[in-house]
Amino acid sequence: MRNPGGQKGHHHASEASLAFLDQAELELRAALGISRLAAMPASSAATSVPASASAPTAPRPPAARPAPPPAPKPVPALPLLPPETAEAEPPPGYLGHRARMREKLLKAGPDALLDHEMLEMVLFLALPRRDTKPIAKALLARFGSFANAIAAPVEELRRIEGLGDAGLAALKLVQGAALRLQAAEVLDKPLLNNWDRLLAYLNASLARERIEQFHVLYLDSKNRLIADEAQARGTVNHTPVYPREIVKRALELHATALILVHNHPSGDPTPSRADIDMTAAIKQAAAVLEIVLHDHLIVGNGRHLSLRREGLI
C-alpha cells in the first residue's frame, strides 16, 4: 500500500543528504585550506576562476642578485729585469772593440798588444760590464808600464778610480802567473848553467819591490834549486840578516850551496859596505859546514850586480 506521506519523507531525506554533503564539503575545504565560493549557479561555479586568480596582481619585483665578491686589490707590478745574457754583456759599443783585440791577440800573439791593451784585456775579463780603457790608461799614467802596474802594491792600486777587488785580483793573478812561469824556467836545472834565466826570474820577483827583501837560494850538489826563501823584509834601505839562521836552514834542506839575493828599491844595485861585510860573514859561517857560497846578487830596477864578478867575494 502506498504511503501517502512517502514523498514528503523522501524530500526530508534528500535535504538531510544535501546537508551532510555540504558539511563534508566544508570540512574538506577547511582541511585543504580552500574557502567556499559564494553561492552561484552550478554552471557558473564550474567555470569560474577564483578571485585571487582572476584579479590583476602587481608585478613581482625581480629577485635581488647576490652582490659580486669584492675585486682583489691590484698587486703592484714588479719591475721587469733584463735577461741575464744581456746584463752580463757590456754595451754594444765595447763588444766590437773587445772582439778586435781578441782577434789581434790570437792571430799576432801578445807581443802585438800595447801595454794599455794588455791591461784592458786583463781587466775586462774581471769587469765584463765596464769600459776598462779609462782604468787601463789611469794605471799607465800612475805606474808607467804594464809590468809596474801588475807588480804595484795593492794599497796603491786601490787609489785608481774604478778599480775594485775584482780588478785587483785579476792584476795580481797575472803577476803570480808570470812569476810561476819564470820560476819554472829555473827549477830542477843547474842554475850556474842557466844564469840568464835565473836573472830574469829574480828581476821579475824582486826588481819592483818597494821594500828591501833578502832571499836565499838553496842548491843541491848539482846546483839545482831546492828552495827560494825570503830570509827577511826590511825597510827601504836595510834588511836584518842573520848568518846563523841561513846556515841552519841549509842543513834542514840538505843544501850544499847558496846564492844570496837582495833588492835595492832605489834601483841602484851598487853594494853598500854593510852588504859586503854581511856577505863575508855568511861565507865564513857556511864554509865551516862545507856549504859553498856561489854569489851574492843585488837587483835594482832593470839592473843587477854580482859581488863575485866584482871581486867582492
Interval 20-30: pLDDT, tens? 666 666 666 66
How much is the average pLDDT of 182-190?
83
pLDDT, residue 30, reads 65
Residue with cell 613581482: 60
Residue 232 pLDDT exceeds 90: no
* pTM, entire model: 0.60
pLDDT, residue 74, reads 65
Helix axes 115-126, 92-108, angle to 10 degrees: 120
Please name the residue ranges forming H helices in the chain.
Answer: 6-32, 42-47, 51-54, 84-87, 92-108, 115-126, 133-143, 146-151, 154-157, 165-184, 195-206, 243-253, 273-288
Residue 166 pLDDT exceeds 70: yes
3-class SS of residue 299? strand
- Give the DSSP H or E segment for 218: strand 213-219
Kindly report which listed range (90-94, 139-143, 295-299) carries the lowest average pLDDT score.
90-94
pLDDT, residue 49, reads 45
pLDDT band (50, 70, 90) for residue 16:
low
Name the residue type at position 176. G
Phi (first) and psi of residue 219, to 5 degrees:
-115, 155
Residue 52 pLDDT exceeds 60: no
d(CA 7, CA 20): 20
pLDDT band (50, 70, 90) for residue 231:
confident
pLDDT, residue 86, reads 42
Asked if 121 and 113 touch (Cβ cutoff 8 Å), the reply is yes
How much is the average pLDDT of 150-174?
94
pLDDT, residue 237, reads 53
Kindly report which listed range (51-60, 111-120, 187-196, 234-243) carries the lowest average pLDDT score.
51-60
Our measurement of the distance from residue 147's CA atom to the centroid of its chain's CA atoms, rounded to an integer in Å, reads 28
Residue 11 pLDDT exceeds 60: no
Share of the chain above pLDDT 90, in %: 47
d(CA 5, CA 13): 13
How much is the average pLDDT of 239-250?
89
What are the residues whose beta carbons fall under 8 Å from the beta carbon of 168, sequence distance 6 or more?
A: 154, 157, 158
Q: Which residues of 201-229 are buried (b: 16+ CB within 10 A; e: fewer)?
A: bbbbbbbbbeebbbbbbbbeeebbbbebe
Q: Which residue has the higher pLDDT, 153 or 1?
A: 153
pLDDT band (50, 70, 90) for residue 143:
very high
The three three-digit cell numbers of residue 200, written as one number:
830574469
Asked if 174 and 118 touch (Cβ cutoff 8 Å), the reply is no
pLDDT, residue 44, reads 44
pLDDT, residue 100, reads 87
Residue with cell 848539482: 222
Residue 257 pLDDT exceeds 90: yes
Q: Which residue has the higher pLDDT, 166 or 78?
A: 166
Average pLDDT, the chain: 80
CA 268, 274, 277, 282 torsion-angle sign: negative
How much is the average pLDDT of 140-166?
94
pLDDT, residue 53, reads 45
3-class SS of residue 119? helix
- CATH class name, domain 189-306: alpha beta
Asked if 285 and 230 touch (Cβ cutoff 8 Å), the reply is no
